[in-house]
Amino acid sequence: MKNDRQQLEQLRQSIDECDEALLALLKKRQGFVEQLVAHKQAAGDAVFVPEREQAIFQRLTDRADFYGLDFELVRDILQRIMRDSYARQARIQRHISPQNQDHQPATQPHQQPQSAKSICVIGGKGQLGGFFVEQFRLSGHSVCVLDRNDWPNADQLLANKDLVLIAVPMAETETTIEQLSGLSDHTLLADITSVKHQPLQHMLKVHSGPVIGLHPMFGPGQSHMARQLLLYTQGRQPEASDWLLQQFRQWGCYTESIDAEAHDTLMGTVQALRHFVTFVTGWQLMANGQSLDELLRVSSPIYRLELSLIGRLFAQQPELYVDIWLKSEQAPSVISAFGDCFKQAEGWINKGERTQLINQFKQIADYFSHSNADFFQQSDTLLEAFRERIQSS
């Protein structure tokens, strides 16, 4: 029996030694990656290269097989290590760059002088605007900011720019565009509003030069843009925005072109309705006098995850969401359509119509089964990761 205990202790010690070796290895890898990034930055190369990542994973599939390891295990660990690399790179860059110095290029520009652009970000002291100001500077562009109080100097700030980027709150987009009639002919005018049709039409009317509508599908709380999604709608002279889209890709973004009206229709569902349902869900919990902590105590991981997604909404600025509901032309009709389905299903429940409910469920399941989405199975792994996270913290 005592021998057994000793053997158990020895095994535990061996496992601890493996973990120690793992840490040393992570540190060593980090050193090589930092050298690699320094090289890339000096050469102006993209830090995130999907093809290089894919090549690494392709090779690891074979190697995992060789060792008899689960490929998903190897992939998840490598992805986690790479994520750490991107975050570290972003921190290192920030540390190097001059803080709070407007109108100054970064000290470590990645751009060759001839490709550096002259940019004005309207609303560049806002959260997302400020994020782009920083990113443009880190990439060696010359950036100035036009803030609320700077309109008296607008002519000077906007003159002769390669890019004027509108990054003001949604409610101020229209009045901002109205003041941009005097831009230089070669200036590319762009916005990052969450609706695209109206602002794009408005920009095309006010400015006769190149125009593009952008919709970054991410918030300012990011340390980097690797793997983020940027939607864009061409307005006029698409060739004039090539460098800008290329810059986003160099930052690691995926870019997707979309028609302005199709964009707004999709966003009626993707943003307006979805956030609205989340809003009402939070409201109902509050109205019900439900204790969140008691709810959490008895919640499955999937519900804790859903609660955290609800809480995420309410941790942000109300205006962001309220203005999407009020500005989206599609919002009233999709919200009303949701309300109709809700009423009908509620009626079935109150009348105990089990067969109706089951048949409707099957129809919707059929609709979902026709998608190419292969990530339904992946939610299991994701939920397991989430369970580990909430219970170990």
Cβ at position 222, least distance to a copy of itself in Å: 8
Q: Binding to a copy of itself by residue 25, rule CB under 8 A? A: yes
Q: Binding to a copy of itself by residue 335, rule CB under 8 A? A: yes
Cα dihedral across residues 259, 264, 266, 270: positive or negative: positive
Query: Near a copy of itself by CB under 8 A, which window of 112-120, 122-130, 201-209, 332-340?
Result: 332-340
Q: In terms of DSSP bridges, do strands 188-191 and 254-257 run parallel, antiparallel, or are they unpaired? A: unpaired
Nearest CA-CA partner of 166 in 142, 149, 186, 188: 188
Which of 2, 43, 112, 175 touches a copy of itself by CB under 8 A? 43
Cα dihedral across residues 30, 36, 39, 41: positive or negative: negative
- Binding residues for a copy of itself restricted to 240-279, rule: CB under 8 A: 254, 256, 258, 263, 266-267, 269-270, 273-274, 276-277, 279
**DSSP-assigned states of every residue in 330-357:** SHHHHHHHHHHHHHHHHHHHHTT-HHHH
- Binding residues for a copy of itself restricted to 272-301, rule: CB under 8 A: 273-274, 276-277, 279-288, 290, 292-301
Cβ at position 258, least distance to a copy of itself in Å: 6
DSSP label at 371?
S
69 vs 96, beta carbon nearer a copy of itself: 69
Cβ at position 283, least distance to a copy of itself in Å: 4
Which of 218, 249, 255, 329 touches a copy of itself by CB under 8 A? 218
DSSP label at 98?
P
Query: Near a copy of itself by CB under 8 A, which window of 99-107, 156-164, 237-245, 317-325?
Result: 317-325
Continuous H helices in 68-163: 71-96, 127-138, 154-158
Number of residues engaging a copy of itself in binding (CB under 8 A): 163
- Binding residues for a copy of itself restricted to 114-133, rule: CB under 8 A: none
Cβ at position 158, least distance to a copy of itself in Å: 30
- Binding residues for a copy of itself restricted to 173-192, rule: CB under 8 A: none
Which of 100, 112, 149, 391 touches a copy of itself by CB under 8 A? 391
- Binding residues for a copy of itself restricted to 220-239, rule: CB under 8 A: 221, 227-229, 231
Contacts 24+ apart (CB under 8 A), 255-261: 255/229, 255/230, 255/231, 256/229, 256/230, 256/231, 256/232, 257/231, 257/232, 257/233, 258/196, 258/231, 258/232, 258/233, 259/233, 260/196, 260/197, 260/200, 260/201, 260/213, 260/233, 261/197
Q: Binding to a copy of itself by residue 69, rule CB under 8 A? A: yes
Region label for 227, one of left (φ > 0), alpha (ψ between -120 and 50) or beta (otherwise): left
104 vs 290, beta carbon nearer a copy of itself: 290
